[in-house]
């Protein structure tokens, strides 16, 4: 199957719509979310739609097998597939909670004609570590990095042979520090791939990075709002990992990543700037999981061929008004 490639428009722009935390599955009134996503797509007119994790599960509503996932994605992907718009995804901490592994799920995602997601290298941790180049003519003008931020620290302990009762602590998270993050071998892969692409390109390639679980640096921005150009809303604690694997430092040293965006915290939709890198959220799109009607929506990101970008939230209420709170 030949997949579409990503190109800047003639006016030198490329638009991304990022949505996350749909938490769909069997028993969910998917019609609401599909209509909301359709409204976002019709309004934003994106060149790429990115699902930012927790597309499925958890709880009573969840996905157990590939057939159920395909049925759900057939609806969710319809605004893009029907319009021929490329789309992609990263996995969240709930996507594999009910027996369908992310590796199995990935094959379902990749079977859709306009889905650009990729399982990524087998030798590094996680599923869905990949980079999508956005071209301006024959030149790569921007890179879009997708990384698997995994699930919880109990799984981390299992995978790395640590005792089950190992505890992780941080003053930055109000959630008990139970979440994992991008692992070292993924960071090394990003670094080496970025260096190789720079060599082939003859210049450093500006980039954005996407994952589900926020970094500790997202939390740091909430402590120093005036200094970090904090904009938007924070209605819950930043549920970052307590294990700082050094991804932000790697991005800072490489000098290519201009922004890092995540989901996970449903009612946070802020952006902030830390050491020159924009850190941000995209809110949520669910109609049943910890929602606030005034937050529901997605984040629009406009790339420019000069390596800059701008971003804003696009909320369902902005488009549909109060009737978007409960689409029949």
pLDDT tens by residue, 221-255: 999 999 999 999 999 999 998 889 999 999 999 99
CA distance 30 to 70: 13
Q: Average pLDDT for residues 167-180, to the nearest whole number?
A: 70
pLDDT at residue 176, as a whole number: 52
**Does CATH number 3.60.21.10 belong to domain 16-301+310-325?**
yes
pLDDT at residue 198, as a whole number: 98
Phi-psi sector, 327: left (phi>0), alpha (psi -120 to 50), beta: beta
Q: Average pLDDT for residues 26-32, to the nearest whole number?
A: 87
pLDDT at residue 328, as a whole number: 72
Pair 4, 81: CB distance under 8 Å: no
The SS3 call for residue 157 is helix
CA distance 286 to 41: 16
Q: Average pLDDT for residues 101-128, to the nearest whole number?
A: 98
What is the domain partition of the chain in residue ranges?
Answer: 16-301+310-325
Q: How many CB atoms lie within 10 A of CB 123?
A: 7
Pair 95, 56: CB distance under 8 Å: yes
Q: Which residue has the higher pLDDT, 154 or 85?
A: 85
Residue 315 pLDDT > 90: yes
Q: How many CB atoms lie within 10 A of CB 305?
A: 19
């Amino acid at each position: 199957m030949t997949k579409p490639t990503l190109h800047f428009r003639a006016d030198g722009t490329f638009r991304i719509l990022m949505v996350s935390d749909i938490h769909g599955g069997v028993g969910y009134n998917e019609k609401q979310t599909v209509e909301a996503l359709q409204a976002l797509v019709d309004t934003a007119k994106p060149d790429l739609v990115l699902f930012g994790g927790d597309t499925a599960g958890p709880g009573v509503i969840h996905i157990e097998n590939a057939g159920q996932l395909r049925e759900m994605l057939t609806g969710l992907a319809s605004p893009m597939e029907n319009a021929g718009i490329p789309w992609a995804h990263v996995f969240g901490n709930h996507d594999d909670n009910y027996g369908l592994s992310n590796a199995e799920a990935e094959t379902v995602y990749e079977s859709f004609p306009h889905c650009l997601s990729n399982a990524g290298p087998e030798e590094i941790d996680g599923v869905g570590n990949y980079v999508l180049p956005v071209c301006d003519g024959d030149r790569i003008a921007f890179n879009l990095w997708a990384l698997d931020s995994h699930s919880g620290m109990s799984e981390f302990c299992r995978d790395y042979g640590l005792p089950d009762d190992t505890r992780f602590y941080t003053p930055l998270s109000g959630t008990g520090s139970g979440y994992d993050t991008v692992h070292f071998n993924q960071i090394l892969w990003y670094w080496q791939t970025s260096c190789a692409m720079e060599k082939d390109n003859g210049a450093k390639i500006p980039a954005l990075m996407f994952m589900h679980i926020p970094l500790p640096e997202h939390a740091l921005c909430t402590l120093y709002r005036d200094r970090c150009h904090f904009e938007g809303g924070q209605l819950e604690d930043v549920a970052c990992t307590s294990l700082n694997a050094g991804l932000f430092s790697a991005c800072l040293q490489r000098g290519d990543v201009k922004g890092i965006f995540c989901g996970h915290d449903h009612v946070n939709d802020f952006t902030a700037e830390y050491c020159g890198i924009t850190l941000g959220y995209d809110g949520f799109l669910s109609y049943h999981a910890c929602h606030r009607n005034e937050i529901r929506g997605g984040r629009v990101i406009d790339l420019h061929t000069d390596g800059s970008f701008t971003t804003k939230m696009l909320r369902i209420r902005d488009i549909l008004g109060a009737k978007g709170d409960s689409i029949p």
